[in-house]
Amino acid sequence: MGIDTRQRILTATNELFRHHGYNGTSLSQVSKAAPATIGSIYHFFPGGKEALAVAVIDSTATVYRQLFESIVAETNDPASAFSLFFDQAGQMLVETDFIDPCPIGTIAREVASTSDPIRRAAEAAFDSWVEAATDYLVRNGIRQGEARDLATLFVITTEGGFVLCRTKRSIEPLHAVARTTSPLISSALASRSPTPSKA
Partner DNA sequence: GTCTATAATTTGATAGAC
Partner DNA sequence: GTCTATCAAATTATAGAC
Q: Does 82 bind its own copies (CB under 8 A)?
A: no
Residue 27 touches DNA, criterion: CB under 7 A:
yes
Rounded to whole angstroms, the Cα distance separating 191 from 180 reads: 18
Q: Are 105 and 159 in contact (CB under 8 A)?
A: yes
- Choosing from 20, 67, 75, 117, the residue that interacts with its own copies (CB under 8 A) is 20
Asked if 15 and 33 count as a contact pair (C-beta separation under 8 A), the reply is: yes
Of the candidate residues 7, 48, 167, 168, the single one contacting DNA (CB under 7 A) = 48
Q: Under a CB-based contact definition with an 8 Å cutoff, are residues 90 and 174 in contact? A: yes
Which of 85, 76, 84, 94 is closest to 165 using CA atoms?
A: 94
Does residue 113 interact with its own copies by CB under 8 A? yes
| Candidate segments 25-33, 81-89, 150-158, 171-179, binder of DNA by CB under 7 A | 25-33
Partner in contact with 19, chosen from its own copies, DNA, none, beta carbon below 5 to 8 Å by kind: its own copies
Cis omega before residue 101 (within 30°)?
A: no
Output DSSP code: residue 101. Answer: S
Where on the chain is the footprint of its own copies (CB under 8 A)?
19-24, 98-100, 105-106, 108-114, 119, 122-123, 126-127, 148-150, 152-153, 155-164, 166-169, 173, 176-177, 179-181, 183-184
